[in-house]
Amino acid sequence: MARTAQEALQLTTLLNKKYKYFDYKWDLVFWVTALPIVAAAADITKLLFAGDWDFWTDWKDRQWWMTLTPFAMIIIPSALQYIQWLAWKFPTGFTYTAVGLWLVAWFGRWLQWDVFVNYPLNFVWPATIVPAAIFADWVLLKSRSFILTSILGGFAFTVGFWVANYITLAPYLQPAELMGRVVTVADVQGMSYIRSATPEYLRMIEHGTLRSFLEETALVSLLFGSTLATAGYWVGQAIGRWLAIWPIMRFMKKV
Protein backbone atom coordinates (compact mmCIF):
# COMPACT_ATOMS: atom_id res chain seq x y z
CA MET A 1 0.00 0.00 0.00
CA ALA A 2 1.38 3.42 -0.95
CA ARG A 3 2.24 5.80 1.85
CA THR A 4 0.62 9.20 2.04
CA ALA A 5 2.87 12.26 2.03
CA GLN A 6 2.03 12.87 5.68
CA GLU A 7 2.98 9.35 6.69
CA ALA A 8 6.23 9.62 4.73
CA LEU A 9 7.04 12.87 6.53
CA GLN A 10 6.31 11.30 9.92
CA LEU A 11 8.57 8.37 9.12
CA THR A 12 11.38 10.62 7.90
CA THR A 13 11.12 12.76 11.03
CA LEU A 14 11.25 9.65 13.19
CA LEU A 15 14.20 8.29 11.27
CA ASN A 16 16.22 11.50 11.66
CA LYS A 17 15.25 12.12 15.27
CA LYS A 18 18.23 12.67 17.55
CA TYR A 19 18.22 10.74 20.79
CA LYS A 20 20.41 11.32 23.77
CA TYR A 21 20.61 7.73 24.95
CA PHE A 22 19.50 5.54 22.05
CA ASP A 23 22.35 4.41 19.86
CA TYR A 24 23.41 1.28 17.96
CA LYS A 25 24.58 -0.45 21.18
CA TRP A 26 21.06 -1.22 22.38
CA ASP A 27 20.28 -3.02 19.13
CA LEU A 28 23.63 -4.80 19.12
CA VAL A 29 23.33 -5.92 22.73
CA PHE A 30 19.78 -7.16 22.21
CA TRP A 31 20.47 -9.18 19.05
CA VAL A 32 23.68 -10.67 20.45
CA THR A 33 22.60 -11.40 24.01
CA ALA A 34 19.17 -12.79 23.09
CA LEU A 35 20.85 -15.39 20.89
CA PRO A 36 22.17 -17.69 23.67
CA ILE A 37 18.78 -18.17 25.31
CA VAL A 38 16.97 -18.47 21.98
CA ALA A 39 19.48 -21.03 20.72
CA ALA A 40 19.37 -22.93 24.01
CA ALA A 41 15.56 -23.04 23.97
CA ALA A 42 15.63 -24.36 20.40
CA ASP A 43 18.33 -26.89 21.27
CA ILE A 44 16.72 -28.29 24.42
CA THR A 45 13.35 -28.53 22.63
CA LYS A 46 15.00 -30.52 19.83
CA LEU A 47 17.16 -32.61 22.18
CA LEU A 48 14.40 -33.78 24.50
CA PHE A 49 11.63 -34.19 21.91
CA ALA A 50 13.66 -35.73 19.08
CA GLY A 51 17.32 -35.72 20.11
CA ASP A 52 17.93 -39.45 19.77
CA TRP A 53 17.24 -39.26 16.03
CA ASP A 54 19.49 -36.22 15.71
CA PHE A 55 22.49 -37.62 17.61
CA TRP A 56 23.46 -40.53 15.39
CA THR A 57 23.68 -41.08 11.67
CA ASP A 58 22.16 -44.56 12.01
CA TRP A 59 19.08 -43.12 13.79
CA LYS A 60 18.34 -40.61 10.99
CA ASP A 61 15.55 -42.71 9.52
CA ARG A 62 12.53 -42.13 7.32
CA GLN A 63 9.95 -42.85 10.00
CA TRP A 64 10.70 -40.88 13.16
CA TRP A 65 13.60 -38.54 12.32
CA MET A 66 11.82 -36.76 9.49
CA THR A 67 8.46 -36.58 11.25
CA LEU A 68 9.39 -35.75 14.85
CA THR A 69 12.39 -33.51 14.19
CA PRO A 70 10.62 -30.83 12.09
CA PHE A 71 7.91 -30.67 14.80
CA ALA A 72 10.51 -30.23 17.54
CA MET A 73 12.61 -27.78 15.55
CA ILE A 74 9.84 -25.47 14.33
CA ILE A 75 8.53 -24.50 17.78
CA ILE A 76 11.06 -21.92 18.96
CA PRO A 77 11.69 -20.41 15.48
CA SER A 78 7.93 -19.84 15.26
CA ALA A 79 7.92 -18.02 18.61
CA LEU A 80 10.79 -15.80 17.43
CA GLN A 81 9.08 -15.19 14.11
CA TYR A 82 6.05 -13.83 15.96
CA ILE A 83 8.19 -11.64 18.24
CA GLN A 84 10.38 -10.18 15.48
CA TRP A 85 7.46 -9.63 13.10
CA LEU A 86 5.47 -7.90 15.84
CA ALA A 87 8.35 -5.72 16.99
CA TRP A 88 10.07 -4.76 13.73
CA LYS A 89 8.10 -6.36 10.89
CA PHE A 90 11.25 -8.40 10.29
CA PRO A 91 10.55 -11.81 8.68
CA THR A 92 13.71 -13.14 10.33
CA GLY A 93 12.68 -15.11 13.42
CA PHE A 94 13.19 -18.56 11.88
CA THR A 95 16.55 -17.68 10.36
CA TYR A 96 17.80 -15.95 13.53
CA THR A 97 16.92 -19.00 15.63
CA ALA A 98 18.32 -21.41 13.05
CA VAL A 99 21.69 -19.67 12.96
CA GLY A 100 21.89 -19.64 16.78
CA LEU A 101 20.90 -23.30 16.92
CA TRP A 102 23.51 -24.14 14.28
CA LEU A 103 26.20 -22.49 16.41
CA VAL A 104 25.32 -24.14 19.72
CA ALA A 105 24.53 -27.54 18.20
CA TRP A 106 27.88 -27.77 16.41
CA PHE A 107 29.76 -26.43 19.45
CA GLY A 108 28.04 -29.07 21.60
CA ARG A 109 28.68 -31.91 19.17
CA TRP A 110 32.31 -30.93 18.75
CA LEU A 111 33.18 -30.39 22.41
CA GLN A 112 30.90 -32.87 24.18
CA TRP A 113 30.63 -35.69 21.66
CA ASP A 114 33.85 -35.52 19.64
CA VAL A 115 36.44 -34.12 22.06
CA PHE A 116 34.93 -35.54 25.28
CA VAL A 117 33.79 -39.02 24.14
CA ASN A 118 35.71 -39.37 20.85
CA TYR A 119 32.77 -40.03 18.56
CA PRO A 120 33.71 -38.85 15.07
CA LEU A 121 31.73 -35.83 13.91
CA ASN A 122 30.62 -37.70 10.79
CA PHE A 123 28.66 -40.00 13.12
CA VAL A 124 27.15 -37.38 15.45
CA TRP A 125 26.59 -34.37 13.18
CA PRO A 126 23.47 -32.33 13.96
CA ALA A 127 20.76 -31.71 11.38
CA THR A 128 20.55 -28.17 10.05
CA ILE A 129 17.40 -26.09 9.69
CA VAL A 130 19.02 -22.99 8.17
CA PRO A 131 17.74 -23.51 4.58
CA ALA A 132 14.32 -24.66 5.88
CA ALA A 133 14.13 -21.58 8.12
CA ILE A 134 14.86 -19.23 5.22
CA PHE A 135 11.96 -20.86 3.32
CA ALA A 136 9.59 -20.38 6.25
CA ASP A 137 10.59 -16.73 6.74
CA TRP A 138 10.15 -16.14 3.02
CA VAL A 139 6.60 -17.51 3.23
CA LEU A 140 5.77 -14.97 5.96
CA LEU A 141 7.44 -12.16 3.98
CA LYS A 142 5.30 -12.89 0.93
CA SER A 143 2.05 -13.90 2.62
CA ARG A 144 2.12 -11.61 5.69
CA SER A 145 -0.09 -14.21 7.32
CA PHE A 146 0.71 -16.46 10.26
CA ILE A 147 -2.05 -18.87 9.19
CA LEU A 148 -0.61 -19.29 5.70
CA THR A 149 2.89 -19.50 7.12
CA SER A 150 1.81 -22.26 9.48
CA ILE A 151 0.45 -24.34 6.58
CA LEU A 152 2.69 -23.47 3.63
CA GLY A 153 5.67 -22.58 5.81
CA GLY A 154 5.25 -25.77 7.83
CA PHE A 155 5.31 -27.77 4.62
CA ALA A 156 8.26 -25.78 3.21
CA PHE A 157 10.10 -26.19 6.50
CA THR A 158 9.66 -29.98 6.53
CA VAL A 159 10.58 -30.46 2.88
CA GLY A 160 13.50 -28.03 3.28
CA PHE A 161 14.65 -29.95 6.33
CA TRP A 162 14.64 -33.24 4.46
CA VAL A 163 16.30 -31.95 1.29
CA ALA A 164 19.00 -29.97 3.11
CA ASN A 165 19.95 -32.83 5.40
CA TYR A 166 19.60 -35.58 2.82
CA ILE A 167 22.62 -34.09 1.07
CA THR A 168 24.70 -34.78 4.18
CA LEU A 169 23.00 -38.10 4.95
CA ALA A 170 23.11 -39.70 1.48
CA PRO A 171 26.73 -40.95 1.63
CA TYR A 172 25.96 -42.85 4.83
CA LEU A 173 23.02 -44.65 3.21
CA GLN A 174 25.26 -46.37 0.67
CA PRO A 175 25.31 -50.19 0.96
CA ALA A 176 28.14 -52.00 2.69
CA GLU A 177 28.74 -55.63 3.59
CA LEU A 178 29.29 -56.51 7.21
CA MET A 179 29.53 -60.08 8.50
CA GLY A 180 27.87 -61.41 5.38
CA ARG A 181 24.94 -59.00 5.47
CA VAL A 182 24.14 -55.92 3.41
CA VAL A 183 23.80 -52.89 5.68
CA THR A 184 24.29 -49.16 5.29
CA VAL A 185 27.49 -47.28 6.05
CA ALA A 186 25.55 -45.64 8.89
CA ASP A 187 24.78 -49.08 10.34
CA VAL A 188 28.48 -49.91 10.23
CA GLN A 189 29.20 -46.72 12.17
CA GLY A 190 26.55 -47.67 14.71
CA MET A 191 28.10 -51.07 15.27
CA SER A 192 31.67 -49.75 15.34
CA TYR A 193 31.18 -47.08 17.96
CA ILE A 194 29.87 -48.76 21.08
CA ARG A 195 27.02 -47.00 22.88
CA SER A 196 26.67 -49.28 25.85
CA ALA A 197 23.80 -47.30 27.34
CA THR A 198 21.93 -47.11 24.03
CA PRO A 199 21.81 -50.81 23.07
CA GLU A 200 20.21 -52.14 19.93
CA TYR A 201 16.84 -52.80 21.60
CA LEU A 202 16.52 -49.08 22.29
CA ARG A 203 17.14 -48.09 18.66
CA MET A 204 13.78 -46.88 17.40
CA ILE A 205 13.94 -46.71 13.62
CA GLU A 206 11.68 -47.86 10.79
CA HIS A 207 9.35 -50.00 12.89
CA GLY A 208 6.30 -51.83 11.62
CA THR A 209 5.61 -52.17 7.92
CA LEU A 210 7.03 -48.82 6.84
CA ARG A 211 9.37 -50.35 4.29
CA SER A 212 6.49 -52.02 2.45
CA PHE A 213 5.66 -48.56 1.04
CA LEU A 214 8.95 -48.73 -0.88
CA GLU A 215 9.61 -45.48 -2.74
CA GLU A 216 6.56 -43.78 -1.19
CA THR A 217 7.98 -44.12 2.31
CA ALA A 218 9.71 -40.74 2.40
CA LEU A 219 6.68 -38.99 0.87
CA VAL A 220 4.30 -40.42 3.46
CA SER A 221 6.62 -39.35 6.25
CA LEU A 222 7.15 -35.91 4.71
CA LEU A 223 3.42 -35.24 4.50
CA PHE A 224 2.79 -36.38 8.05
CA GLY A 225 5.87 -34.46 9.21
CA SER A 226 4.43 -31.32 7.58
CA THR A 227 1.17 -31.82 9.47
CA LEU A 228 3.07 -32.12 12.72
CA ALA A 229 5.18 -29.07 11.81
CA THR A 230 2.01 -27.01 11.33
CA ALA A 231 0.91 -28.04 14.81
CA GLY A 232 4.37 -27.26 16.19
CA TYR A 233 4.22 -23.83 14.55
CA TRP A 234 1.17 -22.95 16.64
CA VAL A 235 2.81 -24.23 19.83
CA GLY A 236 5.59 -21.74 19.06
CA GLN A 237 3.05 -18.99 18.35
CA ALA A 238 1.48 -19.63 21.75
CA ILE A 239 4.87 -19.31 23.42
CA GLY A 240 5.61 -16.05 21.59
CA ARG A 241 2.20 -14.53 22.22
CA TRP A 242 1.45 -15.56 25.81
CA LEU A 243 4.82 -16.10 27.45
CA ALA A 244 6.96 -13.44 25.72
CA ILE A 245 4.65 -10.60 24.63
CA TRP A 246 1.59 -10.83 26.87
CA PRO A 247 3.52 -10.19 30.13
CA ILE A 248 4.89 -6.82 28.96
CA MET A 249 3.98 -4.21 31.60
CA ARG A 250 1.61 -6.58 33.37
CA PHE A 251 1.83 -6.96 37.11
CA MET A 252 0.18 -9.25 39.61
CA LYS A 253 -2.11 -7.39 41.92
CA LYS A 254 -0.94 -7.35 45.50
CA VAL A 255 -3.02 -9.42 47.88
Partner 1 sequence: MATRIEVDEIAPPRARYGPIDWMGGWKTCVVGSIAILVLNLVHWWYVSSHAWTAGIDASSPEFTKYFRSLVWIQLILIGAGTGLWWGWLVRTGRRIVAVKVTADEEVRRIAVFWGLVAMTSVTLYVMASFWPNQDGSWHQTAVRDTALTPPHIPMFYWWFPAGITMTVGTYLYGRYRLPKIYGAEKGFPWSFFFLIAASVTEMMQVAFNEWAHSLWILEEIFAAPFHWPFVLYGWLASGIFALWAETLIRLLGIEKEVEDAATLAKAA
Task: Please classify residue 27 by burial: count the beta carbons closer than 10 Å to its beta carbon, then call 0-12 exposed, 13-18 middle and 19+ buried.
Answer: exposed
Rounded Cα distance between 95 and 55, Å, is 22
Task: Select 106 or 138, whichever has its Cβ closest to partner 1.
Answer: 106
Among 175, 180, 208, 247, which residue sits at the site for partner 1 (rule: CB under 8 A)?
247
At its nearest, how many Å lie between partner 1 and the CB of residue 65? 11
Within 43-62, which residues bind partner 1 (CB under 8 A)? 43-45, 47-53, 55
Nearer to partner 1, 52 or 61 (CB): 52
- State how far the Cα of 104 lies from the Cα of 101, in Å rounded to an integer: 5
Site string for partner 1, 84-103 (x = CB under 8 A): ---x----------------
Q: Which of 13, 15, 180, 199 binds partner 1 (CB under 8 A)?
A: 199
Task: State which of positions 102-141 bind partner 1 (CB under 8 A).
Answer: 104, 107-109, 111-113, 115-117, 119, 124
Q: 65-88 and 154-169 helices cross at what angle (nearest 10)?
A: 130
- Which residues sit opposite 182 in a β-bridge? 177
Query: Is residue 83 at the binding interface for partner 1, with CB under 8 A as the rule?
Result: yes
Q: Does 244 bind partner 1 (CB under 8 A)?
A: yes
Contact indicator for 123, 189 with CB cutoff of 8 Å = yes
Instruction: Tell whether residue 30 is a contact of partner 1 (CB under 8 A).
Output: yes
Write the DSSP symbol of residue 3.
P
> Do the beta carbons of residue 140 and residue 151 sit within 8 Å?
no
Instruction: Please state, in angstroms and rounded to a whole number, the distance separating the CA atoms of residues 253 and 255.
Output: 6
User: In the complex with partner 1, which residue's Cβ is closer, 25 or 181?
Assistant: 25
Among 4, 196, 209, 212, binds partner 1 (CB under 8 A): 196
Distance CA 209, CA 215 (A): 13
For residues 238 and 74, the answer to whether their CB atoms sit within 8 Å is: no
Q: Which span sits near partner 1 by CB under 8 A: 144-152, 176-184, 190-198, 211-219? A: 190-198
- Cβ of residue 5: shortest distance to partner 1, in angstroms? 25
* Amino acid at the residue 55: F
